[in-house]
Structure 1
Amino acid sequence: MLRQFHSLPGLFSAVFVVLMGLTGAWLSLDPALDRLSTTVPQGLSVAELAGRVARHYPGIEQIQRTPSGTLIAYYSEGGVAGAARIDPASGTAIAPYAPSAVSRWVKLLHRSFLLDTPGRVAAGIAALAILVLSVSGVLLLLKRVGGWRQLARPLHGSRSQRWHAEAARIAVAGLLLSALTGTYMSAATFELVPGGEHPEPDFPAATSGGPARPAATLAALKATDLADLHELVFPIPGDPSAVYTLRTAQGDGYVDQSTGELLSYRPHGSVNEAYALVYSLHTGEGLWWLGLLLGLCALSIPWLAATGATAWWQRRRARPRIRGNSPPQSAQTIILVGSENNSTWGFARVLHDALRATGQRVHTAAMNQLAARYNAADKLFLLTATYGDGDAPASANQFLALIERVPVNPAIQFAVLGFGDRQFARFCQFASDADAAMERLGWRRALELATIDRQSSQAFAAWGGRVGEWIGTELRLDHAPVHPPTFKLVLRERIDYGPQEPEPSAVLRFDAGRTEPAGGLLRRLFRPRGLPHFEAGDLVGIIPPGSPVPRFYSLASDARNGVLEICVRKQIGGLCSSYLHGLQPGDCIDAFIQPNPQFRPASGKAPVILVGAGTGIGPLAGFIRNNVGRHPMYLYWGGRDPATDFLYEPELRNYLADRRLTQLHTAFSRVKNGERVQNRLIDDADTLRQLIGNGGQVLVCGSSAMAGSVRTALNTVLAPLKLDVHTLRITGRYREDVF
């Protein structure tokens, strides 16, 4: 519901909202330009200014001071009206004054879309839409990252989703302020709320009637500081009953032109002062620096509109059509889907089609469409993502309440598959909650809860094998989420470790393909050159021949190193690892980059503790290589045999020598008295406690089994500090990249 509340106003009001953002950004420059061209003297009174201006312009009629401090004199000379910007120090003209026709047109476009009263209504609705979008966007962002404390954490999702959220995270405070103040001002225009109008002071019944004295000598004008002036209207020459009209920040009054006495005065009320503050906060007039900041935020609106519309369309397109969807009451198998951005539906469709291919009648629907009864079903699958900090995704946010009211069907067995990202502290929490609720209510479990990290195609296929064993037939689940366009890589170097082993390892270094493209001059001129942008810890997706499903490998280099480097162990029966191990220098592959910004060393001088095993050393070696600032960095790594697979040994020795690596701790399992990396952590507990107590961050890369053992070991190490891995994780000081 919250996502729809955010998306629909944006889609329907996009043109008006973008127009308001662009015009608002333009108008934000005016106060700053005024301020740059204005000298604001200190301690100058209105009387002194009026006297100086009157000496140069005997026909002076009015002096105005803008919120930015610009002084404008309106005068009549030889029967011709004129206006000039005034230097307050001398009272002389800086330049003739004429309002900018362009700025006036942009202001009308901003306030009413050039449509007078109907346009002002539309502008008010657009301001309200920006307010709704800003508030709902903040709530969505908080749900997505897991609360205020996690607001600065790296964002996930498609490129357009990340770009949209990143821009919103930067600009939302300014947009909220502009939307709030704009909505209030629009409501005040139509007298829905109190506005800035204030009644005139009572006009004096009589004046002294004496001769006019020079403005510089009048007491009321002497007592008024120029910084408080809004407007001074001079009396009509030769009329003894005429008075000065003085308007200031505090109130308005009339001044006797002979005695200088304040004949009447009406202070501004609190409502008027509040409106003046709202006006200043919205326009930046009087707060030029705020105006510039709000203008920069307003410039983000077109970007937010474009990326938001793209993300919306991607979500719409990502939800596949389910072919052969049987009615719920006649289906033998029920698949219920919990998804926020529709990516889980792709996995559900593959499961649906695979089960139909075995001859079953299958019904697939959202988890919120749980039926009260399924008359023919004996299998129930729940495939669900988790949203934000353990919350239900959009299509499953009513499921836990619904399942409480549905009678348990003893004929049905269930299985839950959760999708999530292990970098979140509450990984697959909603899937776990749904699984626990089913068990608590008495539903029969067929398979233990299974989870999939970052939409892993391999993990999904493996789960399909377990489902096949349950239903008694082979079930092949191949699903590859839509990936970016691929680019060509050429293998330039390979370093082999333990080639005689059944599972050897290799470091593979690629660079961009340099083969000459077919075609004419234009194609050669505009062909892509060099490697795309990536950083150590990002993932490279490689699609092996004979499979549509990409395999992902953590990168041990970044683009500025000039190579794309991965460390690969050949798995027995592994399609992609066998393919990569069969490559020779000069061979080409197609690949794409999947950013992994959450797996990075933190910036700053706090120590970084790198923990890995086997080929998990790849990105860790990349982090060390790029530690040109020589910040404290400690590596704990486990291998099999130092004689055959001490991966990156020469490089690590060099990094120790040049202090990019502070300490190296290794553990080898296939030597006498062998040990694993988690044992080294326990052995070095005192040092680790000191490093983590000083703000250290832990980065872990390797197999999921190794990562589980490392978490257990670190919890033991951290117990005396009243810390654990969970606490470190939620503060961004514990990150994993596991497979």
Structure 2
Amino acid sequence: MMLRKIHGLPGLFAAIFLMTLAVTGAILSLVPAMDRAATLIPAAGEVSVAELAGRVVDHYPGAEQIVRGASGGVIVYYNRDGQPGADLVNPLTGEGMAPYEPSAFFIWIKDLHRSFLLDSPGRMLAGLMAVVMLLVCISGTLLLVRRTGGWRALLRPFTGSGSTRIHAELARFAILGLLLSALTGGYMSALRFGLLPEPPETGPTFPAEVSGGQPAPVATLAALSDIDLGELRELVFPYPDDRQDAYSLTTSEGAGFVDQATGELLKFQPRAAASVFQKWMVRLHTGEGLWWLGLVLGATALTVPALSLTGITVWWRRRRSSAQLANNVSISRADAIILVGSENNATWGFARELQSGLNKAGIQVHCSEMNALAETYPQASMLFILTSTYGDGDAPASARRFMSRLAYFRGGETLRYAVLGFGDKQFSTFCQFALEVDAALAAKGLSRIHKIELIDRCSGTQFNQWGGRISELIGRPLSLSYEPLPPATVTLELVERADYGVAVQAPTSILRFRQSRLGRSWWQAFFKASRGSLPDFEAGDLLGVMPPGGHSPRLYSLASSTSDGVIEICVRKQPDGLCSGFLHQLKRGDRIEGFIRQNPGFRPAVGSAPVILIGAGAGIGPLTGFIRKNTRRNPMFLYWGGRSPQSDFLYQPELGCYLEDHRLTGLNTAFSRSVEHAYVQDKLMEDQVAVRQMIERGAQILVCGGRGMASGVRLVLDEIVRPLRIDVETLRSRGQYLEDVY
């Protein structure tokens, strides 16, 4: 009993984390094989390092570094016309084969695998999960030995059936691979957190005996001619026109320097045995340089989700209890299944209305979140999926595990489905996740009740019309009548406006409102105040505006705080924009209905660290609000992009005043329709040294504006912080990078 608890309880509580590690590890196991397949590898002795370097320099005069990856690919890092670059090159000719750009997808998967996207705490959790995996593997092996009657019996066929049999067979297949992954992963975590001594890897000191003579062509250097390409790890070129510098060489045997004039090998230091051991542990865990082992480990990792699910099933049956959601029939009794994907719970209201309508039609329903997708629904003939899309086309919180669970889903021949997506058409990824779910279900071989439909801005009318079409298709009376409750609003009166951008076809207005108390009787004012007074707000919070004829509010970032005495927004008029067009036609004294939505995730942190504000167009609104509140004169720098300095330099007078009183430390503007034809990304690159130094000192970056601009800024910042061995996602995880984009 104790051994079973040791095996079951850690696995039960850590199942989600272990499945995440396993699935991401399986995905990452493909990388070495993919890299190997895309790599041209010369035969041993065919190419020396000197020959490779000479060929590369012929095609890349600004070459700064040559790296040979674990899978054999050769990458050159270079500088061309002041712009850094990296290419995968053909080692036989030195010609570029393709730009070298690590996959953002695999980088994200690696971060998820290493730290669950939680930085250092996540790495500690991942290390703990490696220990849990090790404990589960050892205890599971002992249980198998006990069950089968000895170690030799592990090779004989197992008896039994169902989840218990599947669990045992999978465990026997995967145990060695999982043990290797757990041991090597635990070792790497122990090194990272100082539980084991880090192998010394200081490398040789820079040699004092550099000749300083006339540099010779790199292809003629003797030391490099003696080294086969297969032994190379890294070759760093000397600084241009510095005769006292030398080539820095790293091979599989050690590291040293090569005189650029004489070609002599200087101060070569062999790798320490502990360092060799560490490198092998990394290779055994990742499969880097051992692509076949990576595929084996990936295959064993894919058993973890199945082991977790079958293990939980076995435990659940032992407990002889079953779970049942409130107000739902059980999965085994349900005629219809409703699965919900929601980030902020708005979709659940539609799901409850659908469940109520189906119940009234005599249909028994089980409703749960998409993350709870079962392996099968024995009696159900209908599956309804109602899901929103989060962020840039991602799954919402209650559906983030749906796709991985779908891999093990068995729908059956009688189960048909319908997907209903919820989103906002103003975003380019409108209902993207719903579309992906619909395609994935079709790929599983399921038939549709009805083609996918997409609901714009939680339209109750569209939802009710969809219900009518579903009613006809299922042959049951299904009357849906649902309208989401609008948020409580207050009446706001326009007191001031400033207009820009008409000359460059980008009309943008700064609008300032105050809460209106005119035109209402005392009891109306009292009633309105009791249910809809504005709460305190800060720059960066959101103003929701209800446009006439609109079914849902539009949100605009606030450029003011409560202490300013006005509600200030900056709005660009969008083509055919219902709300922006309405706001742009307002005159002083006109009134609108609005409400405040807090947005604490987008505002400068308290402290004296520098703040870098980046925006374009109307995105300058909340950034100006942050500057206005910087009464402590902490370092604050603004990079902003517009079209023309003559027609749409938003907040120009105010920014000038803030520079004079030092609330704004530095201002750098870029105008796309001026002589310089520059964008805000260009200004960041011009200041990359200063920006990088501020980030090293803990600077926080806040970006506001369109998604296209924000995407370009992320790429530039990744380039700027690359020498710091971090990226934007690292900064985001530290709270140093915040976005408010649309």
TM-score scaled by length of structure 1: 0.44
Structure showing greater radius of gyration is 1
TM-score normalized by the length of structure 2:
0.44
